[in-house]
Every structure is written in structure tokens, then in C-alpha cells.
Structure 1
Amino acid sequence: MVHFTSLILATAAVVGSVAAAPSPDPNPFQGKDRHVVSSYGKKLEQTISAFEAKNDTLNAARTRTVQQSISTFTWVTSRAHLSNITTTIAEARRQKKKGKDMIVGLVLYNLPDRDCSAGESAGELQIDNDGYRLYKSQFVDKYAKLVKEAKDLSFAIVLEPDSLGNAVTNQGIEACAKATPIYEQGIAYAISKLQAANIHLYVDAAHGGWLGWADNLQPTAQVFAKVVAMAKKLNAKSKIRGYATNVSNYNAFNAKVRENYTEYSPSWDESHYASALAPYLEAEGLPSHFIIDQGRVALPGAREEWGEWCNVSPSGFGPLPSTKTDNTHVDSLVWIKPGGESDGRCGLEGAPAAGAWFDDYVQMLVKNADPPLKPTYKKA
């Protein structure tokens, strides 16, 4: 990925306000239970077994906590994976407690020629092979139908990780220049189709090390405004809740140590990124709400530069999903990228292809979790 930097320092004041009446657009995560993805939990059985084979009962128990009680998002990355939505809805209904609302996290990720700058996560659809039509008719339309039918659940849906980040900064890459118009049209189409009271859309906004530099903030907001305007032309009721940041990346929400490579950025952790971008979004008439992926967080000193994004080591599981963020722009911390799925054949030695299970890596995440995970021991 190509990230443009700036030597210009930017500051953004975040002004809190006290409302006299309840917000007409409340935080969709507030007060809701969260769906725990069992398919991810099944993969963690390997991790638990590996710790138990080493007589490491503490970390086995910590892994069991992730397995049984921490919510992650379900990724839907191809037409064949649309069935994941049906499975997830059925599972969420089983987990749903009487009288308690539940929110389900989903990722929509299947644009034609996706991942134009890196290629590790290239998908099934190609622009030159009727990909955009197939994306709309065979993927987005069916995705929207399945979610809209589940009116008893709420959904937080992350739209197309990394795509609009490439639209902002990577137009010098031929593949991205070609793909950007389709990215914009495709995301606008998805927004227009995924409109319902129980659906809350978060457009991916890359991360602070990519779009958070001072000279990228306004162009980022302008690209988002363009896409939302395109969606409104397709469906006048089109709206988004906000933006997802740090998806599949490694930035801390609140960095304990400011890394040297962030020196000239106002967005040196994800909380600062949300606060820095928010006024530019508001100036475009857009909402300024965020969810921040903390499923994996690099330890201080783990990276020599911000551009390191692949199986970064050492890293750990980050703060647990929570609406307690101490940032008025942030709806929730979330775990979007399931820790343990490889980013690609790069980073930590022995890494498998993107999406494959990397158990040595997830063992590291458990050991380095910050804050440490509470153990869940087997019942006697």
C-alpha cells in the first residue's frame, strides 16, 4: 500500500455537547448483546489444544474466553459465502436472550478487482469479466435481502475494507486508478440497498497511518461525501452510521507509546485519527461516528514503519469490544478481523496464505493480549 505523509501538524478540537433530549441517532451498540461467532471458536480449539499440550493451562483458559464470550465479525467475501449470513443469523437467534437486543457484526467485501494496491486479498470478481454487474445482482442484492429479512436482529456492517483508502491515495497505481470508479459506484450501490432501521453501515476508512496524515484528511472526507451522494441518487433515503477504522490492521486505539514513525501525524493512534477526521466529515455534512478494530494490536516497537501490515510480530489481542471509549466520536471498540487468520505469506516466519489459519500467530496474540485476557477454565 502507498501511504502519503505530511510534515504538517494538524490539530482538531473535539467539542462535547450536552443534549437536552435523547439523541435521534443513538449508538447502535449501546445496551445490546453481541453475537459470538462459533466458526471462529471452532478454529480456536486447535490453539487450546496446543497450549494444553505444553501444560499451559492459563493460556488455554484465556483462549477459551475468546472462544466463548468475545464477539467478532462474520466476513462475507464471495458469492459462495453468502450462506455465512444465514448461518450467522440462525446462530445469533439462538444466542439472543429474551427481552435483550442483539447486534451482529458483518463485513461486506467482494468488490471487483479488490485490494488493488497489495493483491494479497484479490477476490473472485474482475472488472473486465462483468464483475460489477455480478457484484450488484449476485452479491449485494442477495446480501441485502438476507439481512433485511432478519428484522429481529440489529446489524453493524463494514463496507469494503481498504477500498476507498486506495481511492484517496493510490491513484498513481494503474490498477487502483482503473478500479476506483467501480469501487465508488459499488460502495454507493451497497449503501443504497442496505437501508433498513436495523442496519447500521460503517464505510471502511483505512487507518490513521494511511489516511490520518494532515494532507489526507480533507480528501478522505470528500471521497466519502462523493460516495454517499452517489448512493442518495440511487435511493434518496440512503445514509450511513459512520466509518470503520483499523480493520485487519495493528494500530492501538490509545497508544501507550507514540512510535517515532508517527511523529508528524495528528493521527498517531486510532482515537486521535477519529478525532482528527471528524471535523472534516462534519464539514461535508456527514456523520462522524466510528468503530475501531482492536482484534490485533502491535506491541510498542514491533514495527519499524507504519506501512508494515502483514502478520506483524509481536502483537496481541487488543481491548475487548466495548462502548466505553472516552471518545464521543467512537461508537465502539470491536474485533472485526478474527485474530489468527493470516494476512498473507509475509510478516512472521511460516505465515500461510491470506485467510488460512496461523495457529502460532494466535498463540502469540493470546500471550500478548493487552489487557490480559481473563481465564475461563473447564468446568469440573
Structure 2
Amino acid sequence: MPGSRAQRRIAHRERRRAARRQALLAVASAVVAIGATAGLVEAGQEERRTTAVPEPAPSQRLPPLPAVPVPTALGPGTPSSTTALPPAPEPSRTAPGASAPPTASPTAPAAAPAPPPRTRLFRHPRSQVLDWVRANPGDPRRPAIESRIATRPAAVWFAAHNPGEIAGQVRTVTRGAAAAGRTPVLVPYAIPDRDCGGASRGGAPDLAAYDAWMGEFAQGLGAGPAIVILEPDAIALSDCLTAPERAARFAALARAGDTLRAANPRARVYFDGGHSGWHAPEKQAAALRAAGAATSGDGIFTNVANFHRTADETAYARRVLAALGGPPGLGAVIDTSRNGNGAPAAGQWCDPAGRALGQSPTTRTGESGIDAYLWVKLPGESDGCSGAAGSFTPEYAYALATG
């Protein structure tokens, strides 16, 4: 019957999409750094989750798979054994179903990129590594972990779709950074269909809800310099979507960039550039262009939670930017948290041995077109083998600190 044939065609198409999704997950960049560690905080996530350890990828060029770690709440009233940030005022509320604040007209000229920040980067005072350092004064690993990891600035992740709360949580971080005269690194991570349904699945229920959430996120940016790492993997890991789904996601990312930059012209918004072991620069640039990176952003980020050497990422980022084209001022930031010894051997992605800390976070790289080296994933935060995904494991941290 026609109905039965249609149902069989739908089932066949769904099986093909599932197989394609599994293949693509083998080349996803690792976004296993969403725990609350030395400034790397998953903000506003109240439920506790664990994830299974995925099978290792067979190819040396394949990156680790994503995983969402045990979350830690962030915001006013959250207990912490570390120094508290100034309390944030009551966040503004957005009614369910409300749209994000208006963004620039699509026919308006693109805003010029904000100047790259040249202030010191912010270290969030609530962290697992600081808790461990304080709780273990006699541990022989403590001096190396404290001096080489705990004192370094790192990104703050916002991975929960939590309308009504997100503005206040972002504001808490940006006010703390402004009071310290430093630049925060913020990671909004709530795109719908995040991680193609993999271990880091989640995000907003739909793009309308995502638009509204991003509007609230932008309300907390303040007026000081800020670096926004917009949705790791959202572009590089998008081939699992249908063409219409991908186009809709890219349009949402462009709207997000416009919203963030309109809210704070001093915020630098970077779009997902993957990494040097993934897509060819020309392919990644084409996807970035479709997502509005050249008109709604200030540049690209690469190597998030991965291990590729800084020199390789610098060359790759420059090729992507060249293929992307203007406007002048577009730059790149590189995650250097664990790339001191480069990528591990084939099939080793989960807390691989023999890795080392990379370049310390800084906005003064000395490299043209490279705006910052950042620790987007915090060293010592497990991929899920040395400890639970996202948990701080001192033996892994010490190995990286002394590698």
C-alpha cells in the first residue's frame, strides 16, 4: 500500500541518517571540557549526568569524541569553597516563546571586527582544581598542579538551556572579570541537536528557543572586552544535518553573532573553525562563510579540546582565514591547553598518555592574525578514562604539568 511504502522509505532514510551520524561522530572535535575546573565552568546545569566512554577512533587524524561531564551550577547563591564573585542582580526574564532582541538588518553593512583584546585573561575563582589544591596541602603533586594549571586563566562554559537564568550567570562572570581588569573567555554551548546526538547531546529545544537564550546571554556581556567562543563543533560537525537543517543552524549562528556584537561592541565573537586534522581549510571556510563568520563575527577558533601543535593550528587558521576572505581584522584563537607534545598516536583520544601543557593563555601571541592562545579545555579535566568525564583527576593533571 502507498502508506506502507512511504513508511518503509521514511524508516530507510532514518537508518541512513543514523549511519551517517555515527560515521561523522568519529571525526568530531573533543568537547569534553564542560566541568567546573580552574575557570572552566559549565554554568547553570543542575541535573547530574554521566556518559559512557566511546570506542577509540581508529585513525591517527581522528579527534576524541565529545562527552558531557558531571555538571556544576554557577550563579548567585551557589556554595563554593573558593572565593566568591560579586553577586549578580536579578536577571531579566524572557517569557516562554519570546524572541531574542532585534539584531542588525541583514541588508545593513557588516560591523567592523572589534579590536583584539590586549588585557590579561580572566581566571574564574570557582574551580575543581583550586578545591583540590586547598584540600591537599601535603600532596607532592600539589606544587606543580597549582603553579602550572590552577593559576592559569581558562574559559567559562554555559552549556544549559536555562532561560531566565543565563543573563545573570554571564553577568556574574563579566562583572568579576571587569573588577579584576581582565578579559573573560565565554563559551555558549546550547545549539539544538548539539553533538549530532552524541555524548554531548543537548542544547535548546529548537532554534527559536536558542535565539531567545542567546538574546539573554548577550544581556550579561557588559561593556568590557570579552572573548566569545561560539558553539564548539556547531559548524565543523554539521554534516549529520540535512541541508535545510544545516542552513537553519548557520542562520541561527549568524543571528547569534549579530546579537552578541550589538550588545557589546568590545566583545570578539569567534566561530567554529574545527582543527588542522579535520576538514580542509577551503571546505571549513565555505561553511564558515555560510554561517556568517565573515559578517557576523570577528574570526575563528581552532583545536578546542584537541592536541594539535600550535604551529600546525596557526598555519591552518591562516589558510582558513585567507579562504574566508575579509573584512580586515578577522583573526583566530587557538586552544593550547593540551597540545605541548602534539597529537597522540592512532586511536588514542581519551586522556592519552605522553601529552603536555601547551602555550600559556595570552592575548599577546606575537603572530599576525592569531589573536590569542586560550585554554578552552582545562588540563586535568578527564576525557572519561582517568576519571569520570569532566572530573578533575590529579594524576592526569600532574602528567600534563610535568610532560
TM-score by length of 1: 0.68
Mapped to 2, the partners of 1:115 and 1:92 lie a distance apart of 30
- Counterpart residue identity of residue 105, structure 1: V
**Counterpart in 1 of 2:216?**
142
Secondary structure of 1:290's counterpart equals strand
**Counterpart in 1 of 2:309?**
252
**Counterpart in 2 of 1:38?**
125
TM-superposed deviation, 1:124: 3.9
Matched, 1:221 2:285: yes
- Say whether the 8 Å CA contact 1:116–1:179 is kept in structure 2: no
1:272-312 deviation line (CA, Å, top 9, x unaligned): 21232232112x6575410001111263573226xx54333
1:153-212 deviation line (CA, Å, top 9, x unaligned): 211101010110023xxx3x4x5767523431221121121123211101121110012x
TM-superposed deviation, 1:112: 0.7
Q: Alignment partner for residue 161 of structure 1, among 232, 249, 261?
A: 232
1:92-107 equivalences under 5 Å are 92-96=177-181, 102-107=182-187
TM-superposed deviation, 1:326: 4.3
Q: Alignment partner for residue 114 of structure 1, among 185, 191, 194?
A: 194
**Counterpart in 2 of 1:16?**
none
1:64-91 deviation line (CA, Å, top 9, x unaligned): 2346642111111113472431321232
TM-superposed deviation, 1:110: 0.5
**Counterpart in 1 of 2:367?**
327
Mapped to 2, the partners of 1:362 and 1:67 lie a distance apart of 8
**Counterpart in 1 of 2:173?**
88
Mapped to 1, the partners of 2:321 and 2:341 lie a distance apart of 27
Mapped to 1, the partners of 2:357 and 2:247 lie a distance apart of 35
TM-score by length of 2: 0.64
Secondary structure of 1:313's counterpart equals coil
Matched, 1:61 2:101: no
Q: Alignment partner for residue 387 of structure 2, among 344, 351, 354?
A: 351
Matched, 1:277 2:302: no
Matched, 1:180 2:246: yes
TM-superposed deviation, 1:63: 2.4
Q: Alignment partner for residue 207 of structure 2, among 107, 132, 135?
A: 132
Mapped to 1, the partners of 2:148 and 2:245 lie a distance apart of 37
Q: How many residue pairs end up in the alignment? A: 292
Point out 4+ residue stretches in structure 1 off by more than 6 angstroms. Answer: none
Identity %: 22
The change in CA–CA distance for 1:352 and 1:288 in structure 2 (over 3 A counts) is same
Mapped to 2, the partners of 1:179 and 1:286 lie a distance apart of 30
Gaps of 5+ in 1: 6-23, 97-101, 232-237, 255-268, 369-380
- Say whether the 8 Å CA contact 2:124–2:156 is kept in structure 1: yes
- Say whether the 8 Å CA contact 2:251–2:292 is kept in structure 1: no
- Say whether the 8 Å CA contact 1:154–1:199 is kept in structure 2: yes
Q: Alignment partner for residue 304 of structure 1, among 343, 346, 359?
A: 346
The change in CA–CA distance for 1:278 and 1:189 in structure 2 (over 3 A counts) is closer
Secondary structure of 1:209's counterpart equals coil
